[in-house]
Amino acid sequence: MDPRLGRMASSSLAFLLLLEGGMFSPSSPPDGLQERVFQYIDLHQNEFVQTLRDWVAVESDSVQPLPHLRRELLRMMAQAADKLRHLGATVASVDLGSQQLPDGQTLPIPPIVLADLGNDPKKPTVCFYGHLDVQPARPEDGWLTDPYELTEVDGKLYGRGATDNKGPVLAWINAVSTFRALEEDLPVNTKLILEGMEEAGSIALEELVQKEKDRFFAGVDYIVISDNLWLSRRKPALTYGTRGNSYFTVEVKCRDQDFHSGTFGGILNEPMADLVALLGSLVDSSGHILIPGIYDHVAPLTEEERNMYKAIDLDLEEYRNSSQVKKFLFDTKEEILMHLWRYPSLSIHGIEGASNEPGAKTAIPGRVVGKFSIRLVPHMDMSVVDKQVKQHLEYIFSKRNSSNQMAVSMVLGLHPWITNVKDNQYLAAKRAIKTVFGTEPDMIRDGSTIPIAKIFQDVIQKSVLMMPLGAVDDGEHSQNEKINRWNYIEGSKLFAAFFIEMAKLP
């Protein structure tokens, strides 16, 4: 292990009480069944960590289309299915066939695992969605530990997939297994849907949800997703909205070959100059999107929503320091959160065809492609945004009187999602968080996109709850991804307490 990581922390209950230097005071202990459940989870936390270690060890990378990684994905899904069967679940692994790649190779799509635990008509049925695939990770990219060997340092469990999303999936399973171990009935019927291609676009997932609408999902009352993070390192949160995403490419072409700048520079319209002008016309230095009409359909801000932003616990200085950003565009907590969550943003991502290697290359690219995206919010219409973007870029291009050709395409469109924070399961989740953590949760939205939430809401037409377990500094998709032991173990308790609270609903 890299010596910069310091000493390895012991796997003791002391860390649970320290809570990273006194995050919270322990709440009063719950009575009866809940107390026994919590005690069992504390006493068996090392076993739960070991299971997470076993799962992290599987290199279930769905992003790189390589045969040996697809075999790892198949192994991961089989391992999860076996785990659920041992808990007494009825499990089906749905074969999704194969995937034809542009280079001609064919790779198997990992099956989607559907599991049922309980069918008591007197109990609510709660369905948990999670994914077991991960982003690529290599030690040479800056990892301080082996990304596929879960390593504990000062209460932090480092490993690819630890927080995104293997840890939260296992926390739910830990809660279920605790009731089983105590020979207690589960307070709710629970179903699980686990996929292995989320990081690669959730291939075939929407089609399966449509197909299973009147079968697997027929008796589902509520859906829970735990695939995002808190806003804080200390305070738990519930998420009630995410932004959508429209991804665009804009191509400017003179010819397929590059030009010598000494031979052709000064006598033609250079595609790169056109493209830079087009990209520069999209957003100003204050982050304001310059496309006419883009803000027209953004949902108006209500006083109730404004008050929710005020109540959120966010230390701006800590947030800025942890982000390693010198200065944000906005000075207040409310402005920053609103521009992250409830207003659209435009980001420029890259240029294909440009020289990005070291050295003084003097060629003029003959064809370049710019890439940018707009994060969508309620009530923006994706087709309207597509039209607005194309009209704007066509107007800017026409003003340049260029002889080049321009083409604009929306290559990806994902809808935003928002739900009612007064739904029964949000109220039950708040009570569970109060029981476990001794505090009210932050009610937050997420600036990124989680398409499955909108799919579930539209197809199954049931309430969707996002209950994150990970801290803001967990580093999902980044080097040195981790989940705190405290978050993982207390998160297992949270799901157990949530089961109990859900059972109290009418």
Residue owning tokens 């607005």:
388
Contact 470, 229 (CB under 8 A): yes
Q: Which of 113, 127, 97, 77 is nearest to 204 (CA)?
A: 97
| Burial degree of 62 (CB within 10 A; 0-12, 13-18, 19+) | buried
Helix, strand, coil tally for the chain in percent (to 5): 35, 20, 40
What one-letter code names the amino acid at 280? G
CA 305 to CA 341: how far, in whole Å? 12
CA 67 to CA 75: how far, in whole Å? 13
Q: Which of 26, 154, 15 is nearest to 436 (CA)?
A: 26
Q: Where are the alpha helices (DSSP H) in 365-415?
A: 382-399
Q: What's phi and psi for 408, nearest 5 deg?
A: -115, 135
CA 340 to CA 324: how far, in whole Å? 17
| DSSP-assigned states of every residue in 31-57 | PHHHHHHHHHHHHTHHHHHHHHHHHHT
> Catalytic amino acids?
133, 198
Q: Which of 461, 464, 428 is nearest to 128 (CA)?
A: 464
Contact 98, 109 (CB under 8 A): yes
Contact 83, 168 (CB under 8 A): no
Q: Which two tokens stand for residue 259?
A: 């030009």
Q: Which helix (H) or strand (E) holds 267?
A: none
Q: Which of 372, 339, 391, 337 is nearest to 245 (CA)?
A: 372
Residue 251 half-sphere exposure toward CB, CA atoms < 13 A: 11
Q: Which two tokens stand for residue 188?
A: 């709710």
Contact 192, 171 (CB under 8 A): no
Q: Which helix (H) or strand (E) holds 119?
A: none
